[in-house]
Amino acid sequence: MNSYMGAGSYPKRGLHTVEVSLQNGEYKGTVIYEIGGNCSGSSILSSTLDALCDDGFEPNMGYDENKLGCRLDGTGYVAEYILQGPDGEMWIDSVDIEEKIVGVKILSFTEDEK
């Protein structure tokens, strides 16, 4: 990201796109989370972690990372995360994902039009 939030008055309402890296041994995966509102920085990161760890993540399946890394239940929530490794895939139940998160990064912020 070349710039974050920028100059001007706060709060700034908009959409954050966040990348979450998952790993278990040699098995790795990535999911993308979108969060809107008027928070920023570490609030975005902690809200992202809460959404994934509290078993309430409804991913935007328009992202290739989510198509590859998420298996949904019948209501649109993640049932299992799929990690890729040397021997194929490893499926992690959504309630067990907390110990597999190894990175969280804000990829972009798009400010709402006024």
List, for residues 61-99, the tens digit of each pLDDT value: 999 999 999 999 999 999 999 999 999 999 999 999 999
Give the highest mean pLDDT range of 8-17, 32-41, 56-65, 105-114. Answer: 56-65
| Secondary structure class of 113 (helix, strand, coil) | coil
Q: What's the CA dihedral at 36, 38, 41, 46 to 10 degrees?
A: -60
Burial of 62 (0-12, 13-18, 19+ CB in 10 A): exposed
Can you tell me which residue has the tokens 């929530």?
77
pLDDT tens digits, one per residue of 25-40? 999 999 999 998 887 8
Is residue 97 within 8 Å of residue 52, measured between CB atoms?
yes
Q: pTM above 0.85?
A: yes
What rounded mean pLDDT belongs to the chain? 89
Q: Is the dihedral of CA 85, 68, 44, 114 positive or negative?
A: positive
Nearest to 36 by CA among 103, 110, 93: 110
| Secondary structure class of 2 (helix, strand, coil) | coil
Is residue 7 within 8 Å of residue 111, measured between CB atoms?
no
